[in-house]
Chain A
């Protein structure tokens, strides 16, 4: 379970880190949409460079960032390599081996694809690293007006998942204690299926108990009478959040402008 992605860890409370989660969510969505418009080295490269420059504002050190984004970087590398090897060739062919070939064109698209994955993923990593799930829930319900029932149920489900990771380990040991396992891959797959089933049974039971405990404390009882619940942690957008979104927009615009200026920017699907 330890990808490090959801580990709030030690993050310095900078302006950006303390920005409303909805503002951070808006920035990462905006960057993702803009970067999806074109696959080119200059736009994606500029975006990555600017994002790295903005890192000190986030309060996340390079090491902390690397630890959290290792999984995503590992995804970017094979995607690039694959594009380089089997992508459409253009320009001078540098290497050829059967169906695989490397050309200046495919090298360039490989780099572009890899950089794009990083450029889109980085803001997401920052969002997760600097945002507590509870704060995100508060913001989604109060700023974006998502249904409180949905948001709180999701937060509560988070608690259950926490416990399930431990249960999974116990189940593995318990199956060895029953004499199961140790006879090859096929039986191993069946074994995992059995574990998943028991885990589901346990999860459903836990969820039912949790739902009872939540309802006993008044959860969902106000809805039928049109009464709103209150929020102990008010979440609203401030002037600084507008700045954060504006900064994000500026970053996206700069990257696109660089791509257009270099002549590499080309709208996909045209």
Chain B
């Protein structure tokens, strides 16, 4: 019997790209086999999944150029997709789940979204709805069919997309970093659903994921793709991870039982022993702008120089909203965020201009002009792309210093220093939008540091990062604390908190609770 998936000298080059995304790949996956696909970024993992899903058409009006063969049950993969649709039974050979939950929802109602694939496969209407209900049940989404998809959390959305894939009863599940954008609870829930469905259906799995620790128990074979093309290692999980462990860890793969923590200066930063108070929150309430009741009220807390504060709690509890208030980006609904003299410094009268009323008090960060804010409080957003405003990496870093009134050499000096410190020097002339996820994260942190703020507020800084970028970030943040910068990070990342957090602000049930480790002085 021929294997389910078979690549023979397969390669793919996207139109308008000179280099091949994949080249000279020989790989066979038997029905029901569960394979973890590893490899450095740019090794062509996602391209292979897209190819297996039948989405790469090397024909005259296709999106690129194919070489060799990529077969599903002996049929070229992109033909296999069309044959499955033409068969009208609503059975796909493969089912593809991508990384971004937000970008995969097709329709406005939960049931319609799951039905979408069945409709495309020309399943008669009366047979669609029982399969929709079953698929929703299988992924644990017990919601009415007409529930609006816009009201789902990230984890729920990802399970909805999975339901849409599973409704087509694929024989091979293709998962492309399915948990990279989910919080730990959402990621574990998705992993459990996948495990349960694989056991129930006997379908195979081809998984791309750098959080190996989360998925390792589910797969029985690991294939490591080589960056230049071909296969670097292939075999049972235990053996490949043991033989290639160091190499994989160096490439940023999260391996089970291997701490990514860099040695040296990493330790919790006690808030009490730290420096002077920079910011204090006095009876602060925050909420979504223009929508009723605040999500969080009565917050009293302070931020001291050299401290690391982790801001934790479930999604929707108000973590990000509170972080925006601390960062002086959005004024609180009530109460006040007060900047202390150590932070305000010699702030001139050039505050945020208001055409009416009295000028805001000088100790209110939300009232400062943007250029006064960035030299005092820096912010790093969850999606780095939101923060990019320039054409090249170097220009991006120069924006802040120029806004502070620095010119010429002073700007160049700061830019050069940051480029080197964050390993971005080779990318100085690249467009920020073309960088990899880890590079974009480093750049967004660097842009905030360019104005040398005394308080740095980060929203999920380690989200979806590989182990190497993670360790670099932790090391960088530790260094900042040591030089007196106060760091506040909204995060789900337990490892990050263990590594650095001196104080933890827990949000939940509309309140904030401060927790300081017992060991801290």
Q: In the complex, what distance in Å separates the CA atom of A214 from the CA atom of B369?
A: 44
Partner of A159, one of B105, B387, B447: B105
Tell me if B353 counts as interface (CB < 8 A to partner A).
Answer: yes
Interface string of A157-182 (1 = CB under 8 A from B): 01110110001011101111111111
14 A-B Cβ contacts within 8 A?
A152-B106, A159-B105, A179-B399, A201-B385, A209-B98, A210-B103, A212-B96, A213-B103, A215-B55, A216-B54, A216-B55, A218-B120, A228-B122, A232-B118
Among residues of A, the one whose C-beta sits closest to the C-beta of B174 is A216
Partner of A213, one of B96, B369, B451: B96
Query: What's the minimum C-beta distance from A18 to chain B, rounded to whole angstroms?
Result: 14
Stretch from A73-81, A110-118, A121-129, A219-227 that touches the partner: A219-227
Tell me if A9 counts as interface (CB < 8 A to partner B).
Answer: no
Check A174–B387 contact: CB distance below 8 A.
yes
Among residues of B, the one whose C-beta sits closest to the C-beta of A174 is B386
Partner of B92, one of A133, A174, A218, A227: A218
Q: Which residues of A contact B352 (CB under 8 A)?
A: 182
A-B contact count (CB 8 A): 183
Chain B interface residues toward A at CB < 8 A: 50, 53-55, 81-82, 84-86, 88, 92, 94-96, 98, 100, 102-109, 111-112, 115-125, 128-129, 132, 149-150, 161, 164-165, 168, 289, 324, 327, 329-330, 352-353, 369-371, 373-375, 378-379, 381, 383, 385-389, 399-400, 403-404, 433, 447-448, 451
Among residues of B, the one whose C-beta sits closest to the C-beta of A201 is B433
Tell me if A61 counts as interface (CB < 8 A to partner B).
Answer: no
Partner of A218, one of B81, B329, B330, B400: B81
Query: What's the minimum C-beta distance from B445 to chain A, rounded to whole angstroms?
Result: 12
Check B86–A178 contact: CB distance below 8 A.
no
Check A177–B387 contact: CB distance below 8 A.
yes
For the complex of A and B, 7 pairs with smallest distance between CB atoms: A217-B117, A218-B120, A179-B374, A216-B96, A179-B403, A177-B379, A209-B103
Check B117–A218 contact: CB distance below 8 A.
yes
Most chain B CB within a 10 A radius of its CB, from A132, A216, A225, A228: A216
Check A180–B112 contact: CB distance below 8 A.
no
Among residues of A, the one whose C-beta sits closest to the C-beta of B99 is A209
Partner of A231, one of B125, B164, B383: B125
Tell me if A202 counts as interface (CB < 8 A to partner B).
Answer: yes
Check B107–A155 contact: CB distance below 8 A.
yes
Q: In the complex, what distance in Å separates the CA atom of A201 from the CA atom of B399?
A: 20
Tell me if A65 counts as interface (CB < 8 A to partner B).
Answer: no
Check B112–A227 contact: CB distance below 8 A.
no
Tell me if A238 counts as interface (CB < 8 A to partner B).
Answer: no
Q: Which residues of A contact B403 (CB under 8 A)?
A: 178-180
Tell me if A233 counts as interface (CB < 8 A to partner B).
Answer: yes
Partner of B102, one of A134, A156, A163, A170: A163
Most chain A CB within a 10 A radius of its CB, from B53, B96, B107, B389: B389
Check B399–A173 contact: CB distance below 8 A.
no
Among residues of B, the one whose C-beta sits closest to the C-beta of A177 is B379
Tell me if A67 counts as interface (CB < 8 A to partner B).
Answer: no
Partner of A230, one of B106, B112, B128, B164: B128
Q: Which residues of A contact B132 (CB under 8 A)?
A: 232
Check B108–A159 contact: CB distance below 8 A.
yes
Check A176–B373 contact: CB distance below 8 A.
yes
Among residues of A, the one whose C-beta sits closest to the C-beta of B108 is A134
Most chain B CB within a 10 A radius of its CB, from A159, A198, A209: A159
- The count of chain A contact residues (Cβ–Cβ below 8 Å) is 54
Check B374–A222 contact: CB distance below 8 A.
no
Q: Which residues of A contact B129 (CB under 8 A)?
A: 232
Q: In the complex, what distance in Å separates the CA atom of A231 from the CA atom of B126?
A: 10
Q: In the complex, what distance in Å separates the CA atom of A81 from the CA atom of B291?
A: 35
Q: Which residues of A contact B168 (CB under 8 A)?
A: 217-218
Q: A174-B386, A218-B84 are in contact. Are A133 and B108 (CB under 8 A)?
A: yes
Among residues of A, the one whose C-beta sits closest to the C-beta of B100 is A209
Check B353–A233 contact: CB distance below 8 A.
no
Most chain A CB within a 10 A radius of its CB, from B84, B105, B168, B327: B105
Query: What's the minimum C-beta distance from A164 to chain B, rounded to whole angstroms?
Result: 10
Check B95–A178 contact: CB distance below 8 A.
no
Q: A173-B329, A218-B120, A234-B125 are in contact. Are A213 and B98 (CB under 8 A)?
A: yes
Q: In the complex, what distance in Å separates the CA atom of A132 from the CA atom of B303?
A: 48
Partner of B112, one of A171, A220, A232: A232
Partner of A232, one of B105, B115, B404: B115
Query: What's the minimum C-beta distance from A158 to chain B, rounded to whole angstroms?
Result: 7
Q: In the complex, what distance in Å separates the CA atom of A224 from the CA atom of B86?
A: 10
Query: What's the minimum C-beta distance from B408 to chain A, rounded to whole angstroms?
Result: 19
Q: In the complex, what distance in Å separates the CA atom of A180 from the CA atom of B53?
A: 44
A70-105, CB < 8 A from B: none
Tell me if A12 counts as interface (CB < 8 A to partner B).
Answer: no
Check B82–A222 contact: CB distance below 8 A.
yes
Query: What's the minimum C-beta distance from A11 to chain B, rounded to whole angstroms?
Result: 14
Q: A182-B353, A216-B95 are in contact. Are A221 and B120 (CB under 8 A)?
A: yes
Check B53–A179 contact: CB distance below 8 A.
no
Partner of B381, one of A156, A174, A219: A174
Q: A209-B98, A210-B106 are in contact. Are A224 and B122 (CB under 8 A)?
A: no
Most chain A CB within a 10 A radius of its CB, from B116, B161, B379: B116
Q: A133-B108, A222-B122 are in contact. Are A227 and B103 (CB under 8 A)?
A: no
Tell me if A194 counts as interface (CB < 8 A to partner B).
Answer: yes
Partner of A170, one of B85, B94, B96, B381: B381
Q: Which residues of B contact A229 (CB under 8 A)?
A: 119-122
Q: In the complex, what distance in Å separates the CA atom of A215 from the CA atom of B164?
A: 12
Check A231–B106 contact: CB distance below 8 A.
no
Check B104–A213 contact: CB distance below 8 A.
yes
Query: What's the minimum C-beta distance from B81 to chain A, rounded to whole angstroms?
Result: 5
Check B55–A214 contact: CB distance below 8 A.
no
Interface string of A137-166 (1 = CB under 8 A from B): 000000000000000100110111011000
Check A176–B107 contact: CB distance below 8 A.
no
Q: Which residues of B contact A169 (CB under 8 A)?
A: 289
Q: Which residues of B contact A178 (CB under 8 A)?
A: 370, 374, 387, 389, 399-400, 403, 447
Q: A182-B371, A217-B116 are in contact. Are A232 and B125 (CB under 8 A)?
A: yes
Q: Which residues of A contact B378 (CB under 8 A)?
A: 177
Partner of A217, one of B122, B165, B383: B165
Check A180–B50 contact: CB distance below 8 A.
no
Q: A182-B371, A209-B104, A213-B98 are in contact. Are A177 and B50 (CB under 8 A)?
A: no
Q: In the complex, what distance in Å separates the CA atom of A202 from the CA atom of B385?
A: 8
Query: What's the minimum C-beta distance from B379 to chain A, rounded to whole angstroms?
Result: 4
Check B86–A222 contact: CB distance below 8 A.
yes
Q: In the complex, what distance in Å separates the CA atom of A133 from the CA atom of B112?
A: 12
Query: What's the minimum C-beta distance from A79 to chain B, rounded to whole angstroms?
Result: 29
Check A173–B324 contact: CB distance below 8 A.
yes
Check B106–A159 contact: CB distance below 8 A.
yes
Among residues of A, the one whose C-beta sits closest to the C-beta of B146 is A132
